[in-house]
Amino acid sequence: MIFKLALRNIIGNGWRSLINILILAAVLISLIWMEAMWYSWLVLAKTQQKQWEFASGILRSEEFDPYDTFSWEKGYAPIPADVRPHVASGDVVPILYSPGVIYPGGRQLNAMVKGIPARQKVLKLPSSGLAGSADSPIPALIGQDMAKTTQLQTGDIFTLRIKDSAGAFNAVDLEVAEVMDCPVPSLDNGTVWVDLSALREAKLLPDVATVLVLNDKALHNVSAPRYELITEKEFFADLNEMVKTKAVGQSMLFVLLIFLAMLAIFDTQALAIFKRRKEIGMLAALGMTKAQITRLFTLEGALYMLLAIVATLVLGFPLFWYFAVKGFAMPGGVDFGVVGFDRPLLFVYPWPLILVTLALMFILTAFVSWLPVRRIASMNVVETLKGGRNV
């Protein structure tokens, strides 16, 4: 009976109820959209970095420190004996780093030259284009951002100056084999890719590497002296830290939206108690206890949220479907130099997190609805029947 009475009261409020439901639905749609955007970006960023850079793990030379530029010149180590069979089978991809200077169009630019086997299949990097002949310039890969910086195009030839292991400088000619569409900025910005054998020859460093990319987690236990294992947790530590930082601002926006929604419910319930004093008195005179009347008004507030959830599914579905199929593109093509923002982001909806959010909103709505209803316990039945202000 209480449920039917609460539903009848909501329907009887007409436009006032509809406005409250639409406000709650708008808040829910905004919350789900933001949760989906951040979750989708995090999933895509990790997926792209695994496909293009990390695979199932990395063994990095102990001599190489990505935050110390002075270590880059000698940041390599011999490939361990236990790893060489896996390199031969293609399950481990050796990559050699070396700082260098390139001269595109007569200009001088610093670059990180990275050598990778042309026939590797572990990473998504299109390294097959690095295979070349001995009587032509060494093929090179650059990303689209690097192409804009250097003003190089496919087929252009430029000079690379690099220091070999003896301390002498070598100059070699490179030809842009392909301008690749790379979604990982760290593999694009300031980076030139060449075949591993060509880079080793230029540096006079046979059988060495800076990092060893592993195709299988079972290789984490392989004996690799002078190399340290970089786990997924360590590799994505910077990305996770950035997400935590962004989550602070996102949480503030969440709190603001939830506060506005709860304020609408609180005002509705407070106004309802003030305007329906005679009805409350009549219900009490008909035998309803104050606890039952309190449950009635609390249930009304909770029903607003249930109806808002239904409205969210109906009104929000076209929006959710659009971003799942078409994706969300940053205005003006801005990508912030961050993985995952360089192209439209197809939304993946974290349903467990969304269900928790909906449950939390329902509980908060019930609580906020109950707050103003507590005054019913102090009402005088005779005064409420008269429409008095003693509430």
Out of 173, 196, 225, pick the residue that ends a domain: 225
Same domain, 152 and 185: yes
Same domain, 37 and 142: no
Same domain, 253 and 325: yes
Same domain, 72 and 40: no
In tens, the pLDDT along 63-91 reads 999 888 888 888 999 999 999 999 999 99
Same domain, 192 and 46: no
Domain that holds residue 257: 2-50+238-386
Out of 199, 225, 251, pick the residue that ends a domain: 225
Give me the chain's average pLDDT, please.
Answer: 85
Q: Name beta bridge partners: 141.
A: 178, 193
- What's the mean pLDDT in 274-294? 73
Question: Is residue 35 a part of any domain in this protein?
Answer: yes
Question: Is residue 230 a part of any domain in this protein?
Answer: no
CA-to-CA dists, residue 69 to 10, 64, 311, angstroms: 67, 9, 56
- What's the mean pLDDT in 208-214? 96
Between strands 191-195 and 77-78, the pairing is unpaired
The reported pLDDT for the residue numbered 37 is 86
Q: Provide the 3-class DSSP secondary structure of residue 302.
A: helix
Same domain, 151 and 281: no
The reported pLDDT for the residue numbered 391 is 45
Return the amino acid letter for 323.
Answer: F
Closest CA to 34 of 197, 246, 193, 222: 246
Total domains in the chain come to 2
Instruction: Please list the helix, strand and coil fractions of the chain in percent, rounded to the nearest 5, in that order.
Output: 55, 20, 25
| pLDDT > 70: percent of the chain | 89
Question: Is residue 374 a part of any domain in this protein?
Answer: yes
Same domain, 41 and 68: no
Above 90 in pLDDT, residue 98? yes
Q: Are 52 and 193 in contact (CB under 8 A)?
A: no
The reported pLDDT for the residue numbered 337 is 52
Out of 225, 250, 285, pick the residue that ends a domain: 225
Same domain, 285 and 248: yes
- What's the mean pLDDT in 297-302? 83
Q: What tokens does 370 get?
A: 């109950």
Distance CA 326, CA 130 (A): 34
Same domain, 296 and 317: yes
